[in-house]
Structure 1
């Protein structure tokens, strides 16, 4: 069991580099199965979800290594199609392997995925897209058996712009026979990153970043080298931490355009933010308590649900009443109850959390409920007058390479226990 210890009320100051994107690299790792040879991805974060995906790929016969941010995946000896249940239970992104396995091997065996417990998160849209391309599915005792003699292009229209389902549809369509049209697809930056990666492998994709994507199937893809962009959720976390602690922090390596909505919200809360687009640099200065804010999460370009818990922590120290509405995951207010242990005055009204800010917060002891909720508790500790301890930090390690290292470099008194 791991825990984080924080001595609060230390203003954050300085510059921090942002790790590679967790939500972008996982579908790229799944895509490596579509090419015979060695794929290399640079600037990869050393986080638990990446190690879990490496474990799945190795169980399928791949050889994987991750050293100093350089990930290599050698698929030459890969022939398996069964995803071990032990890995599926750890991470939801394991379902992204369905499309590549069906495309390459014509069959796949998996289970309903795990990950953070933040709502129902069904995979029905994933299965719908793959069925449209010609796959058949059979379920027995929580196991999913998938088969496809030959995937063929089709028209896919999602009832909701699911990121994972969009990725699975693209991964299956790039080598399918004919052309696939995907409508009402997700527009998140990670979709664009995946499409750029697949294009480097030889895929033909039009419309990445728009609500309609067209994929012209090719006979085969080839191994590629790729440099991973910065993690926008990690960058947003550190900017919110700076706002909560009257800090002056510059984050380097994340695409400012990808953070347009969080930056807009932080400015409404009183932060002075300057941006250098070409240098991928965002500087936040705050010399007062944050102001209150109202926001609603939604698919990109809306406010990211992955930053909802973090901004709820920021709202808990604001001057006034804030309202944060969650529209993506129905159970993502687990952090709200735990933030109350730090003195936060938060109540929930259905899918809206109402925070009446108070400062400073009081020291607390709590277990991280999930990945982003755990980060929110760490930020609460930064704004607490005393020593706080956050337990069950395995969740945090799923998405942050080293939260203590990064915040410590900015002046936080924080360490792993």
Structure 2
């Protein structure tokens, strides 16, 4: 077990470079096994979720070579075996192997997925899509058994009852080699879906409509290897933008796609955070006047991302007056609030609404990162707080943030990671 020790209250400055998108990488890696020759992914984040997926690939005899940013995946000697349940339960994105294995082998055994608990996150839309393509899906002793009929999967029209990134990608993976045409309606529009579709098209797939709510897929017989660069991580970018506004004096956030950040940038501008927006960077300066309160409502893309409501919370605590957050994606994404209250925040949860009263002066205490983005929130709060903040549950943070200690140290933060039994 690891802990983060943060001595807060310092104004941070400098440059930080955003790495490849976690939510893309965890789908691109399972998608790569559909190729009949090696796939090279560039800009892959060096995070725990990526290493967990690599371990799953290695168990299935897929050769991998990861140097910290470039990942080569060679599936030419891959074998289809039941997925290792321990890794599945620690990593929700492992469910993308369902669609990939179904397409590659016509069958697969996959344990039920894990990841951060943010309330119910059913996979019924994934299974609905698989069944519409002709697959049978059975839950046996906590594992999903997927099988296709002898004639294979057949393209069809599929309407997703809810907008789901995971279901959109999983059905897309299952449909790329199905016979005929598949149309996915009410598809998610996130940039990560465009990234996966771009990889698959580079591999020889025929996918149109990525980035809209209707995807059209013409099934192909073969997919080949290629080279692909992962898009920058909009959630990591939004996290460092919020950090810059909350604890920075002058921070340049580099390697961003500004169009992917319209939600958080609009809210920070509404608050009065001074920003200079470039082609692929955003510079955030310290506000010279009090910040204004805002109301945030999370929505499917291009709305405000649910993954960014927790990292934005500490910045909202600096505003004068009452701010609110309504998460329409994961209403139970509130575990960061009791931890912030322990640090001195004036915050509460009423029904599905998070209410924040600012400005709140934070003090360093011991807090727990209950999930990935709650951890990012507490890191920012710790950097703002007076005194020493100790964060447990650091493994959750390392699942999604590449070299976070090194990046923050380069900005001037007093932060270190220790083993829990080390002498602080």
| Structure-2-length-normalised TM-score | 0.96
Match of 1:192 in 2: 194
Matched, 1:24 2:24: yes
Q: The residue matched to 2:33 in structure 1 has which SS?
A: helix
Return the alpha-carbon distance in structure 2 between the equivalents of residues 213 and 232 of structure 1.
23
- Report how far residue 413 of structure 1 moved: 1.4
Match of 1:223 in 2: 225
Q: The residue matched to 1:9 in structure 2 has which SS?
A: coil
- The 5 Å alignment of 1:60-75 reads 60-75=60-75
Match of 1:209 in 2: 211
Match of 1:368 in 2: 369
Listed one character per residue, the Cα deviations across residues 251-280 of structure 1 (whole Å, up to 9, x for unaligned) are 111211000111000111111222222xx1
Match of 1:159 in 2: 161
Match of 1:380 in 2: 381
Match of 1:3 in 2: 3
Return the alpha-carbon distance in structure 1 between the equivalents of residues 70 and 121 of structure 2.
31
Listed one character per residue, the Cα deviations across residues 153-188 of structure 1 (whole Å, up to 9, x for unaligned) are 110111111000000111111111101101110000
Farther-moved stretch of structure 1 (288-297 vs 168-177): 288-297
Return the alpha-carbon distance in structure 1 between the equivalents of residues 248 and 226 of structure 2.
43
Q: The residue matched to 1:86 in structure 2 has which SS?
A: helix
Aligned residues: 415
Q: The residue matched to 2:90 in structure 1 has which SS?
A: coil
- The 5 Å alignment of 1:7-406 reads 7-149=7-149, 150-277=152-279, 280-288=280-288, 289-406=290-407
- Report how far residue 236 of structure 1 moved: 0.5
Provide structure 2 residue ranges, at least 5 long, that are not aligned to the other structure. Answer: 419-424
Return the alpha-carbon distance in structure 1 between the equivalents of residues 397 and 195 of structure 2.
23
Q: Contact between 1:91 and 1:114, CA under 8 Å: does it hold in 2?
A: yes
Farther-moved stretch of structure 1 (36-45 vs 354-363): 354-363
- Report how far residue 224 of structure 1 moved: 0.8
Return the alpha-carbon distance in structure 2 between the equivalents of residues 31 and 235 of structure 1.
24
Return the alpha-carbon distance in structure 1 between the equivalents of residues 408 and 237 of structure 2.
11
Listed one character per residue, the Cα deviations across residues 206-232 of structure 1 (whole Å, up to 9, x for unaligned) are 111001110111111101111112111
Return the alpha-carbon distance in structure 2 between the equivalents of residues 152 and 12 of structure 1.
55
Listed one character per residue, the Cα deviations across residues 87-131 of structure 1 (whole Å, up to 9, x for unaligned) are 110111111111111111011101211000111111111101111
- Report how far residue 297 of structure 1 moved: 0.4
- Report how far residue 360 of structure 1 moved: 2.9
Q: Contact between 1:244 and 1:290, CA under 8 Å: does it hold in 2?
A: no
Provide structure 1 residue ranges, at least 5 long, that are not aligned to the other structure. Answer: none
Return the alpha-carbon distance in structure 2 between the equivalents of residues 389 and 51 of structure 1.
26
Q: The residue matched to 2:390 in structure 1 has which SS?
A: strand
- Report how far residue 246 of structure 1 moved: 4.5
Return the alpha-carbon distance in structure 2 between the equivalents of residues 405 and 290 of structure 1.
29
Q: Give runs of ≥4 in structure 1 deviating > 6 Å.
A: none
- Report how far residue 247 of structure 1 moved: 2.5
Farther-moved stretch of structure 1 (284-293 vs 201-210): 284-293
Q: How large is the Cα RMSD of the aligned pairs?
A: 1.1
| Structure-1-length-normalised TM-score | 0.97
Q: Contact between 1:248 and 1:285, CA under 8 Å: does it hold in 2?
A: yes
Q: Contact between 1:82 and 1:109, CA under 8 Å: does it hold in 2?
A: yes
Return the alpha-carbon distance in structure 2 between the equivalents of residues 415 and 35 of structure 1.
41
- Report how far residue 317 of structure 1 moved: 2.5
- Report how far residue 199 of structure 1 moved: 1.1
Q: Contact between 1:317 and 1:361, CA under 8 Å: does it hold in 2?
A: no
Q: Contact between 1:192 and 1:208, CA under 8 Å: does it hold in 2?
A: yes
Return the alpha-carbon distance in structure 2 between the equivalents of residues 246 and 25 of structure 1.
29
Q: Contact between 1:11 and 1:242, CA under 8 Å: does it hold in 2?
A: no
- Report how far residue 359 of structure 1 moved: 4.0
- Report how far residue 313 of structure 1 moved: 2.0
Return the alpha-carbon distance in structure 2 between the equivalents of residues 113 and 146 of structure 1.
15
Return the alpha-carbon distance in structure 1 between the equivalents of residues 154 and 216 of structure 2.
13
Return the alpha-carbon distance in structure 2 between the equivalents of residues 193 and 307 of structure 1.
20
- Report how far residue 291 of structure 1 moved: 2.2
Q: The residue matched to 2:348 in structure 1 has which SS?
A: strand
